[in-house]
Amino acid sequence: DAEITQSPRHKITETGRQVTLACHQTWNHNNMFWYRQDLGHGLRLIHYSYGVQDTNKGEVSDGYSVSRSNTEDLPLTLESAASSQTSVYFCASSSWGFGDTQYFGPGTRLTVL
Amino acid sequence: KQEVTQIPAALSVPEGENLVLNCSFTDSAIYNLQWFRQDPGKGLTSLLLIQSSQREQTSGRLNASLDKSSGRSTLYIAASQPGDSATYLCAVMDSSYKLIFGSGTRLLVRP
């Protein structure tokens, strides 16, 4: 069955370190998204991609970057982790239609000490 | 700037009750509205998607309505069951195809 996976599921790191969170989908979806979920804020969009070599900034993109070199993967990089980036991160994908349902991964819980 | 609000933040009901979850949004220029379910420690699962031209969508015991002009949506759950316990998230897709989420309603259905 097609799916969307994230790794690692849990990560503890130190302030200032570079961290990369992986997202891999086997739906062959064109669109991929990264969100963070914090208490009191719901999910907020970090970056998104509408296809290979396409990346766009979302609402809370400062301190994060993404690259899209193939259809299946959209890794999220924290260039220099900060305590404010402690959160649960969700990756999602959707098909060619921009208004289509998004399918979410299980999430990565990141703690920055 | 689009803002999405969900009331109540938490709800506890006995099994078998019919219940309504509310979602409001500030900008009526939306592409669609979606309801998601989130179980603890898990990702989001799409429940219902209502296009901006539609008034409601139904799936089993779930019915979602949309009143774009008043900026409101409701999710109606009939004959609630303990397995319905989860957090329910409302999200609107804006004109640039980005999803804006509410903070969710945490539902507990007591046996």
pLDDT digits (tens, 9 = 90+) for A23-80: 999 989 999 999 999 987 789 999 999 999 999 999 999 999 999 999 999 999 999 9
Q: Which of residues 1-60 of B touch A (CB under 8 A)?
A: 4, 31-32, 34, 36, 41-46, 49, 51
Question: Is residue B29 predicted with pLDDT exceeding 70?
Answer: yes
At A98 the pLDDT is 67
Other Cβ atoms closer than 10 A to B7: 12
At B98 the pLDDT is 87
Beta-strand ranges (E) seen in chain A are: 4-7, 10-13, 19-25, 31-38, 42-51, 54-57, 64-66, 76-78, 87-94, 103-104, 108-112
How far does B62 lie from chain A, in Å, by closest CA? 17
Distance CA(A92)–CA(A40), nearest Å, equals: 21
How far does A41 lie from chain B, in Å, by closest CA? 6
At B61 the pLDDT is 97
Overall average pLDDT of the B88-103 stretch: 91
